[in-house]
Amino acid sequence: MKADNAPPAPSPGNMAALSAAKKVLRLEMKRRVAALSDAEKRRQTEAVSRRLIAHPKYQNCQRIAVFLSMSDEIQTEDIIKDVFQRGKECFIPRYKSRSNHMDMVKLASAEEIHHLPLTSWNIRQPAEDGLLEEALTSGGLDLILMPGLGFDKHGNRLGRGKGYYDTYLERCLQHSRGRPYTIALAFKEQICDQVPVTETDKQIDEVLYEVP
């Protein structure tokens, strides 16, 4: 599903109302995914992964950022293996716990993931003090795979409330390579009619999920 030409995000206006609407939708999206069996999540992960690997934007990219998935997200480990098998450069998120800052740092191999420390979110990421290549200090990125709790047909994304990816996409605009193409990976249960947004929320280019 590609984002259509949606109107600009509305003015924040009543931020309290927007915040409340997002909170309600986050709970609903979490409830929907929690109802899925492990087998169903694996099945949809395989279907979405196949769609991504066949996608021209994926096939033609060289520098790609991939999120390390949590249990309630499309699993990305096999995608990362495919990235390395194709000789692409893979970057993964590194969050700074004391701020809402995120970098995309270069991964040396798919096997390296299993040796990374666990965060409080129970996902692996490189140590905050590690000296690793950051995508925006070198060649930029061609493609970013986006996580999220919910998505709509306009390319609006419901994150977990920290703004990591919105801020990072804003930083990408300062790079000579410009804004990378963005593809979200989702369970079909995460697609909703409308995601409430503020003027700081960034639209994504495309959402991949299993379609009948």
Residue 8: per-residue pLDDT: 47
Residue 12: per-residue pLDDT: 46
pLDDT by position in tens, the chain (length 212): 666 655 444 444 578 888 899 999 999 999 999 999 999 999 999 999 999 999 999 999 999 999 999 999 999 999 999 999 999 999 999 988 677 789 999 999 999 998 898 877 777 888 777 778 999 998 999 999 999 999 998 999 999 888 899 999 999 988 888 899 999 999 999 999 999 988 888 999 999 999 87
Task: Report domain 15-208's class.
Answer: alpha beta
From the list 90, 34, 70, the residue with the least C-alpha distance to 147 is 70
Give the bridge partners for 206, in sequence order. Answer: 2, 183
Q: What is the per-residue burial (b if ≥16 Cβ within 10 Å, else e) of 165-177? A: bbebbeebeebee
Residue 5: per-residue pLDDT: 52
Residue 14: per-residue pLDDT: 78
Residue 23: per-residue pLDDT: 93
Residue 124: per-residue pLDDT: 84
**CA distances from residue 48 to 40, 56, 75, 128, 193 in whole angstroms, order as listed:** 12, 14, 10, 31, 20
Residues written for the chain: 212
Q: Are 181 and 52 in contact (CB under 8 A)?
A: no
Residue 178: per-residue pLDDT: 86
